[in-house]
Amino acid sequence: MLETAIKQKNTTDKVESDRKSLLGFSFLHFINDMHTNALPTIIPMLVQSISMSLSQAGLLNAVFGMTNLLGQPVAGYFADRQKRPWLAVWGPMLSIAGTSFLPLAPSYYTAFILVALMAIGTASFHPQGMGRAGSSAGSRDLALFISLFSSCGTFGSAVGPIYVVFLISLIGKSMFPIVLIPCFIICLYLWKRVVSDQKAENITAGKAKFRDFFSNMGDVMKKINSIVVIATVRDATLQGIKIFLPMLVILKGGSIATGGMLLFAITLTCTFAGIIGGKLADSTNDEKVMIVTIGISPVFLITGLSTTGTLSVAALIIGAAFLQASNPVTTAMAQKRCPLSRSTASSLAMGVSWGLANLFTTPIGFSADIIGLEKTLRLVAFLPWTVTAWYTGRMILSAVRRR
């Protein structure tokens, strides 16, 4: 009853947006993801420096994904019970520390620990960062604020590999940990001057008790299970396309640089697509925006995978943009349904879906070995239409019941 009453109040009262807090959390998101998404760039350095095998490299990536998959719900549960956003500042600092020392790892064991540190940091930050970005929004800006927060992370992901390669080529691996100093100063400044005093009105009154974790998680999941499933399908499609697309470019005769530039263009376009999707969701209907953008994306993805040249590149970029446009919308919908558990809801609709999507890349790889990469990616491109089919079936069933 209490949660319902607060939810109704939040959606009816005109609440002013806290743009200062949004700016702080968004920049923390940028700086966190700029470092953690440089992992694929650092792994080849470790293969050379400590003679790491490809299977060991794959395990490092799996550790990062599994830690986020399991850790984000736990972090979200505790974040919903913190009056001050401690995790949102200490998380990025852990991520930055792990990333800055990783190129210098003297052994695989050390590299494993540093990657785990990065994963713990990013898993701690994202639920609370997303939850507080949502609570910074006014009564009509929720999806837009979440999209701005998400887009800063997406942009950080795009520039992260370039940032690491540029700095290491400029100052050398041995000096790379010096980035800790300016990054830590920025994080502490944002904490002191921007985010620590944010009004925490949408915080649950309950205390953090680990024995209540599973019951709380179950209650939240009941309200947003369909959203989590939709987000997982979307993220699995986007991750599958993005991870294997550079290899497809090479198999078709292109260069590594061409594949990298295509991936960068897709990531950069997705940054702006999320903002547009969030704005449309706030001004129209969030559920319709989600279904329409997800439903349109396969048209362009399949076209891009079935053609070559400029048409292929343009279609793939547009298809990925339509997918990404729904990202802030699903998280905003989850937060609306759970206004007292914003961080927990975000961890499920964003963190768990992303983690499951990463696991999905393993069967994609197996399928590519059996039937070929191009055919496999075309099948992946059809996945969003399962959401369209489910939604259409639900609408038909609802119409039949009303008769």
The answer to whether residue 153 sits within a structural domain is yes
- In a shared domain, residues 154 and 281: no
- In a shared domain, residues 56 and 178: yes
- In a shared domain, residues 384 and 247: yes
| Spatial CA neighbour of 233 closest among 372, 387, 79 | 387
The enclosing H or E element of 302 equals helix 286-306
The answer to whether residue 13 sits within a structural domain is no
- In a shared domain, residues 239 and 185: no
**8 pLDDT above the threshold of 90:** no
- In a shared domain, residues 54 and 139: yes
Which residue reads 């009564």 in tokens? 139
CB half-sphere exposure, 343, CA atoms < 13 A: 30
- In a shared domain, residues 304 and 167: no
CB half-sphere exposure, 102, CA atoms < 13 A: 32
Q: Which of these three, 165, 199, 233, is where a domain ends? A: 199
Segment 61-115, tens digit of pLDDT: 778 878 888 889 988 888 888 778 888 889 999 999 999 999 999 999 999 999 9
Q: Which of these three, 141, 164, 199, is where a domain ends? A: 199
**200 pLDDT above the threshold of 80:** no
The answer to whether residue 80 sits within a structural domain is yes
Segment 114-171, tens digit of pLDDT: 999 999 999 999 998 998 888 887 767 888 899 999 999 989 988 888 888 889 889 9
- CATH number reported for the structural domain that contains residue 157 in this entry: 1.20.1250.20
- In a shared domain, residues 191 and 238: no
The answer to whether residue 2 sits within a structural domain is no
Look up the domain containing 83 and give its range. Answer: 19-199
**What pLDDT does residue 207 have?**
61
The answer to whether residue 400 sits within a structural domain is no
- In a shared domain, residues 140 and 58: yes
The answer to whether residue 397 sits within a structural domain is no
- In a shared domain, residues 177 and 63: yes
The answer to whether residue 175 sits within a structural domain is yes
| Spatial CA neighbour of 89 closest among 196, 208, 199 | 196
Rounded Cα distance between 18 and 23, Å, is 9
Q: Which of these three, 199, 216, 237, is where a domain ends? A: 199
The answer to whether residue 402 sits within a structural domain is no
Provide the number of structural domains found in the chain.
2
- In a shared domain, residues 361 and 328: yes
**What pLDDT does residue 277 have?**
92
**181 pLDDT above the threshold of 90:** yes
Segment 98-113, tens digit of pLDDT: 999 999 999 999 999 9
- In a shared domain, residues 260 and 372: yes
**How many residues comprise the chain?**
403
| Spatial CA neighbour of 344 closest among 224, 232, 248 | 224
Rounded Cα distance between 232 and 154, Å, is 17
Q: What is the mean pLDDT of the chain?
A: 84
- In a shared domain, residues 370 and 280: yes
